[in-house]
A and B are shown apart, each in its own frame.
Chain A
């Protein structure tokens, strides 16, 4: 983000690309000497004449700061509902195995279910390329310096994906266990992934993410013999933050435990306002 006004600049603002696409810069960027003509742009605040009457006025507005994000999230959710798309927001710290879990899931289920993927990372098309290698439609959102996805980015990415009805949309958020928790993307379910190498008390160290999630996947259980971690303690801490969490213990590498996750994914699913039954390809 721009260090002065915080808005995204063409060099490091959110960029949404499909694998193989290149990023073209915008000619009329608003930092170019403020010569633009957007009526409502916030830099125009100081260009008006000072004809005020020096009377103070108190505006009791009571406005939710996240309102803009929530409005577009609601719009995304309505779109998903209308098209019977089951949208998941995958969140975790970097390196928990989100992409590996996704790759395994796609490889095993793509012949039964139509999947679409939105990849969120600060930089690179690497993850989108990994997904594209499975012949699954994917777009990459590069957030630049941004530490999380917001609903407007998903809104734009979804338009680019042209998702068919009766599909699963996997949104892999930026690897970050803090910031993405506050931003509703319009997903039907939020899935937090924690790996056994991260320690038992992650859920209470980063409670917001576990509090806002519906499902908790404990990944890398094949490494349990080598790490000083008890899965029951991870669950115990996670349940303290969110007693409603549903757990899956898996290894995306060996495939252990993945079947239960697949059964949950395949449904019949009845998330609030989401897909009732997925149209399973025969």
Chain B
């Protein structure tokens, strides 16, 4: 259940940024989470309530922007959508690829008051 650590990391960032901006609380938080990031969204949503209790995020609306996986084949340069880390290149079936996107795990923006 590493999602709890992730949620606490999000809380820490929100606390830091809110205090830096001399604001009091967060009304909305936007997260960018890639499908290849290793985060289970169900688990994150499950522990979210307990992680944000008594923090600046307690009453914040949470928006998760899911970023699709994209790879580029090292052998034939084909760019393709990835759902799993072990997806082969659809053109040449090679497993050698660089991941262009999908590993994101970011707090994109905070709306504070």
- List the interface of chain A (C-beta within 8 A of B): 1, 3-7, 40, 42-43, 45-46, 48, 50, 52, 54-69, 146-148, 150, 178-179, 181-183, 203-204, 207-208, 211, 237, 239-243
Partner of A61, one of B5, B24, B25, B110: B110
Besides A62-B106, A179-B5, A241-B86, 10 other CB < 8 A contacts?
Answer: A1-B4, A3-B50, A6-B11, A42-B11, A42-B15, A56-B111, A56-B113, A57-B23, A182-B38, A240-B88
Q: How far is the CA of A207 from the CA of B99 in the complex (A)?
A: 14
Contact between A52 and B113 (Cβ–Cβ < 8 Å)? yes
Number of chain B residues whose Cβ lies closer than 8 Å to a Cβ of chain A: 46
Q: How far is the CA of A208 from the CA of B24 in the complex (A)?
A: 37
Contact between A50 and B24 (Cβ–Cβ < 8 Å)? yes
Partner of B8, one of A7, A40, A178, A179: A7
What DSSP secondary structure best describes chain A's contact surface?
A: mixed
Name the distance in Å between A8's Cβ and chain B's nearest Cβ. Answer: 10
Q: How far is the CA of A55 from the CA of B88 in the complex (A)?
A: 49
The 10 closest A-B pairs by CB, nearest first: A179-B2, A240-B86, A207-B85, A208-B38, A241-B86, A59-B110, A65-B9, A211-B85, A65-B105, A6-B8
Q: How far is the CA of A237 from the CA of B1 in the complex (A)?
A: 25
Contact between B2 and A183 (Cβ–Cβ < 8 Å)? yes
Contact between B84 and A207 (Cβ–Cβ < 8 Å)? yes
Q: How far is the CA of A55 from the CA of B86 in the complex (A)?
A: 47
Contact between B2 and A182 (Cβ–Cβ < 8 Å)? yes
- List the interface of chain B (C-beta within 8 A of A): 1-2, 4-13, 15-19, 21, 23-25, 27, 31, 37-38, 50-51, 53-56, 84-86, 88, 95-96, 105-113
Contact between A60 and B54 (Cβ–Cβ < 8 Å)? no
Q: A52-B23, A207-B85 are in contact. Are A6 and B110 (CB under 8 A)?
A: no
Partner of B109, one of A4, A5, A52, A61: A61
Q: How far is the CA of A230 from the CA of B8 in the complex (A)?
A: 41
> Number of A-B pairs whose CB atoms are under 8 Å?
129
What DSSP secondary structure best describes chain B's contact surface?
A: mixed
- Chain A residues with CB under 8 Å of B25's CB are 45
Q: How far is the CA of A67 from the CA of B37 in the complex (A)?
A: 14
- Chain B residues with CB under 8 Å of A147's CB are 1-2
Residue of A at shortest CB range from B109?
A60
Contact between A65 and B50 (Cβ–Cβ < 8 Å)? no
- Chain B residues with CB under 8 Å of A68's CB are 9, 12
Q: A3-B50, A42-B15, A65-B10 are in contact. Are A58 and B4 (CB under 8 A)?
A: no
- Chain B residues with CB under 8 Å of A242's CB are 85
Name the distance in Å between A12's Cβ and chain B's nearest Cβ. Answer: 13
Contact between B54 and A43 (Cβ–Cβ < 8 Å)? yes
Contact between B105 and A58 (Cβ–Cβ < 8 Å)? no
Q: How far is the CA of A48 from the CA of B27 in the complex (A)?
A: 17
**Residue from A4, A45, A148 having most chain B Cβ neighbours under 10 A:** A45
Residue of A at shortest CB range from B7?
A6
Q: How far is the CA of A43 from the CA of B56 in the complex (A)?
A: 9
Residue of A at shortest CB range from B57?
A45
Q: How far is the CA of A67 from the CA of B105 in the complex (A)?
A: 10
- Chain B residues with CB under 8 Å of A4's CB are 50, 53-54
Residue of B at shortest CB range from A69?
B9
Q: How far is the CA of A43 from the CA of B105 in the complex (A)?
A: 25
- Chain A residues with CB under 8 Å of B95's CB are 239-241, 243
- Chain B residues with CB under 8 Å of A64's CB are 105-106
Q: A240-B88, A241-B86 are in contact. Are A57 and B9 (CB under 8 A)?
A: no
**Residue from A7, A58, A63 having most chain B Cβ neighbours under 10 A:** A63
Residue of A at shortest CB range from B33?
A65
Residue of A at shortest CB range from B1?
A147
